Amino acid sequence: MKLTRAHAVHRTTKRPESSTVILPMLRGARRFALISLLVPIACTNSAWAQPLELRNTLMPEPSSLSVQPGSFQIDASMTVRFTGTHDEVLEQATTRAITQLEDLTGVELSKDFAASAGAATFEIKVDHPAETVQSLDEDESYTLVVRPGYIGLNAPTDLGAMHGMQTLLQLVQSQPGGYVLPAVTISDTPRFHWRGLMIDCGRHFQPIPVILRTLDGMEAVKLNVFHWHLTEDQGFRVESLRFPQLQKMGSDGLFYTQAQVREVVAYAHARGIRVVPEFDMPGHTTSWFVGYPDLASGPGPYTVQRRFGIHDAAIDPTRESTYKFLDGFLGEMAGLFPDAYMHIGGDESNGKQWMANPQIRAFMHAQNINDTAGLQVYFNQRLLKILTKYHKHMVGWDEILTPGLPTDIVVQSWRGVDSLSRGASAGYQGILSAPYYLDAMKSTADHYLADPIPANTCLTPDQQKLILGGEVCMWGEQISPQTIDSRMWPRTAAIAERFWSPATVRDVPDMYRRLQVMSLRLDALGLQQISGPQRMLRQLTGNTSSPEFRTLTSVLEPVGLGARYHLQHTDQLTPLDGLVDTVAPDPPSRHQLDQAVQEFLADAPQHERSRDCLEQQFRSWVQTAPALGLLMRRSPRLTDYAPLAEQLAVLGGIGTQAIDYIRVPSDMPAGWQKAALAQVTAMEKEKNLVRFTVLAPLEQLIQATGGNSTE
């Protein structure tokens, strides 16, 4: 019997036994003696909800944390004092944090930072003011001390103070009568300097509100690099005043004005986030050529490319006019984006247009360039000169890692940790991205456990220092402003922990527990990973309340980019508003059903509770199905999914039976186990681009009937 995918899912979510050994201090700190603010409350709300418990819900986990008795009561007597340096950046960050604290607690707090000390003091001591342009190696550490009547936040820089404030907000706990911060001592510093999130705004444009709320989410999870993928075959998304036909002809009117770019850069800076723009060259450049066909290696005219994938169109690297243009364009962009790094892409250039052009071939011959890879090295060397002239460091994808380039470039690896390690061995700085591609629709656990420097790395300690960090990548083929949040969040919060926290923080169930709380915090910031899918469901069903559909969609997830592309042949113009866009990758159901099944099978003290929750869940699937099927058949956009309703009922029936047969094995009819397994495994195949999230634990339940007698 084959259960490959399902087994893989299960493997990644089981508890690593070693975590209590690895992290003794954190282990000890994991339970605060206080009531958590945001943990879901009771099984009455959902079969999955956890009981009210007293727990650490920080994400990312700090490097060191200890809990003391007592707490700081949040009330109107709290005053903020700056006892070190403080500039506008810090004051604004503090105001925002205080406002968020008010929103969390409903308590009106003083924002008059000049006030004399009150009964309770929040003392902020920063050694140095913020740098005008945030740098890669700026100190981001902080210490946070909370005790009754006193909060002390110390940091060498504004950045550390900003991170400390986010930690502080995450410490808020409710208890009868009010809100408190538990007494703690936290000393925290990030593991990696480069903790990024890339958004591809080329293939689908993302309006400014999406970018701004994303930056809010990044701040909350201590990410510090927004990598803005601005140009693609499918769209040129930034305004150039020197070469206005770039955006005028290459964007369908969907681009960021320079004023908007400045706003984004300032907004990010105020949140401790650098903005690294990417202008992908020499491939992925069709949109440039619509307005400037002379830049291309092949004859025009060009139109904006609608199809995805690797295209032949490429910049002509042999003409001096190309470099004159790029000097002008990149010089303009260098002024617009203050960060010291600029990303030139460099990926997936197939060289076809180059080889088809006799003049380019002649140039290669004359210059003793053997192949198109060599020609790209030549191009990159010329680009490097331009970037250096404008005081920018070069960043590029794997392909730029070639002998001809100096080691002060930064290589972003989409190929994986081995490629990254080879670069580091050769002295190149690197950023890992391959395991953090959100469009693969993988589980949070999969992303979470992938480490830029795995425990078994062959790199020397000095080579390890060349691994600057990692970047989450949100590619744009199949996302819209309506769906991007549910693809990015909350999974990105867990990856952010990978980049910030000690490598030893790898407890998957604990990550999922904290992630659920973190998701509600992100929701409070205006991110739409919860509200967006609910809105799309309202639109699909034409109803403000669709409990039947919420039952179904909570156990569905979209297939990954590749599968969808293969099955649906999407291009830039495909509407992204179907059920596949409505359901979210790795919804809580996957981990929660798994956990309930593990508890039930372990015959633990929670046995009774987990059985009740499982039975309640399975029953809801069975009960929902008839109405669901009826509703689906009435809506043209859902008719094709109607079989899912019947499948849901089947799954619920099988689950109920499995529980019965585990309790009373003698009740199980002959052949039931085999037949049930066959039914469930048959559902592993995607159905109209979506698939069930709950099959693996169900299969485990079935396996457990009759004492694993089937194999």
List the interface residues with its own copies, window 547-576 (CB under 8 A).
547-548, 573-575
Spatial distance between the Cα atoms of 687 and 648, rounded to a whole number of angstroms: 13
Among 263, 327, 347, 615, binds its own copies (CB under 8 A): 263
Select 592 or 673, whichever has its Cβ closest to its own copies: 592
Residue 684, burial from CB neighbour count under 10 angstroms (0-12, 13-18, 19+): middle
What's the closest the beta carbon of residue 635 comes to its own copies, in angstroms? 6
Instruction: Tell me the C-alpha distance between 643 and 523, whole Å.
Output: 32
Please identify which residue in 286, 443, 519, 620 interacts with its own copies, judged by CB under 8 A. Answer: 519
Closest contact distance (angstroms) between CB of 515 and its own copies is 12
Is the Cβ of residue 319 or residue 637 nearer to its own copies in the bound state? 637
User: What distances in angstroms separate CA 638 from CA 293, 578, 580, 634, one per listed residue?
Assistant: 44, 8, 11, 8
CB 610 within 8 A of CB 600: yes
The answer to whether residues 221 and 518 touch, using CB atoms and an 8 Å cutoff, is: yes
Nearer to its own copies, 92 or 419 (CB): 92
Instruction: Report the site for its own copies in 460-489 (rule: CB under 8 A).
Output: 482
* 114 binding its own copies? (CB under 8 A): no
Site for its own copies in 286-325 (CB under 8 A): none
CA distance linking residue 224 with residue 193, whole number of Å: 8
Cβ within 8 Å of residue 651, ≥6 positions away: 618, 621, 680, 683, 692, 694, 695, 698
**Of 148-156, 352-360, 612-620, 633-641: span binding its own copies (CB under 8 A):** 633-641
- Per CB under 8 A, the list member of 321, 460, 464, 531 interacting with its own copies is 531
Number of amino acids touching its own copies (CB under 8 A): 72
Cβ proximity of 28 and 515 under 8 Å: no
Among 3, 39, 383, 680, binds its own copies (CB under 8 A): 39
Work out which of 46, 247, 305, 433 binds its own copies, going by CB under 8 A. Answer: 46
Residue choice 81, 147, 538, 609 for contact with its own copies (CB under 8 A): 538
Q: Does 209 bind its own copies (CB under 8 A)?
A: yes
Q: Does 234 bind its own copies (CB under 8 A)?
A: no
Ranges within 131-160 binding its own copies (CB under 8 A): none
Residue 1 or 41 with smaller CB distance to its own copies: 41
Those residues whose C-beta lies under 8 Å from the C-beta of residue 647, and which sit 6 or more positions away, are 683, 687, 692
C-alpha 663/C-alpha 666 separation (Å) is: 9
Residue 105's identity, in one-letter code, is T
Paired residues of 556 in beta bridges:
692
* Binding segment (CB under 8 A) for its own copies, from list 23-31, 370-378, 545-553, 650-658: 545-553
Q: Which is nearer to its own copies, 258 or 656 (CB)?
A: 258
Examine residue 106 and tell whether it contacts its own copies (CB under 8 A).
Answer: yes
Q: Is 637 a binder of its own copies (CB under 8 A)?
A: yes
DSSP 256: B
Q: From 319-327, 512-520, 612-620, 691-699, give the range in contact with its own copies by CB under 8 A.
A: 512-520
Instruction: Give me 356's structure tokens.
Output: 């088809």
With respect to its own copies, which residue has the nearer C-beta, 143 or 519? 519
Instruction: Report residue 340 as tokens.
Output: 């010291």
Distance between alpha carbon 166 and the CA centroid of its chain, in Å? 18
Q: Which of 263, 348, 684, 686 is catalytic?
A: 348
**627 in contact with its own copies (CB under 8 A):** yes
Min dist. Cβ of residue 637 to its own copies (A) = 5
Site for its own copies (CB under 8 A): which residue of 22, 49, 54, 355?
49
Q: Does 43 bind its own copies (CB under 8 A)?
A: no
Alpha-carbon distance of 517 to 36, in angstroms, equals: 9
Q: Residue 91 corresponds to which tokens in the numbers above? A: 């004051």
Cα atoms in the Cβ-side hemisphere of radius 13 Å centred on 661: 23
Near its own copies in 51-80, by CB under 8 A? 52
Choose which of 77, 85, 174, 504 interacts with its own copies (CB under 8 A): 174
Closest CA to 473 of 435, 508, 506: 435
Radius of gyration of the chain (CA): 27
Q: If we measure between CA atoms, which residue out of 432, 438, 430, 431 comes closest to residue 473?
A: 438
Residue 550 CA to residue 577 CA, distance in Å, equals: 16
Q: Is residue 348 annotated as part of the catalytic site, yes or no?
A: yes
Least distance between its own copies and beta carbon 46 (Å): 6
Say how far apart CA 159 and CA 189 lie, in whole Å.
Answer: 11
Q: Is the Cβ of residue 64 or residue 260 nearer to its own copies in the bound state? A: 260
| Positive or negative: CA dihedral 124, 125, 131, 136 | negative
| 403 binding its own copies? (CB under 8 A) | no
* Among 161-169, 170-178, 506-514, 661-669, the segment contacting its own copies (CB under 8 A): 170-178
Q: Is the separation of the CB atoms in 119 and 149 below 8 Å?
A: yes
Q: Which of 524, 563, 601, 622 binds its own copies (CB under 8 A)?
A: 524
Q: How many CB atoms lie within 10 A of CB 433?
A: 23
Tokens linked to 402: 């070639």
Q: Which stretch binds its own copies (CB under 8 A): 62-70, 290-298, 325-333, 519-527?
A: 519-527
List the one residue from 1, 8, 33, 41 that touches its own copies (CB under 8 A).
41
**Measured from the CB atom, is 334 or 522 closer to its own copies?**
522
User: Distance (Å, rounded) from C-alpha 258 to C-alpha 240?
Assistant: 8
CB of 552 to its own copies, least distance (A): 14
Cα 96 to Cα 102: distance, rounded to the nearest angstrom: 10
**Cα–Cα distance list, 460 to 373, 409, 425, 468 (Å):** 30, 20, 9, 14
Q: Is 673 in the site for its own copies (CB under 8 A)?
A: no
Q: Does 190 bind its own copies (CB under 8 A)?
A: no
Return the range that interacts with its own copies (CB under 8 A); candidates 406-414, 438-446, 544-552, 644-652. Answer: 544-552
Please give the positions annotated as active site.
348
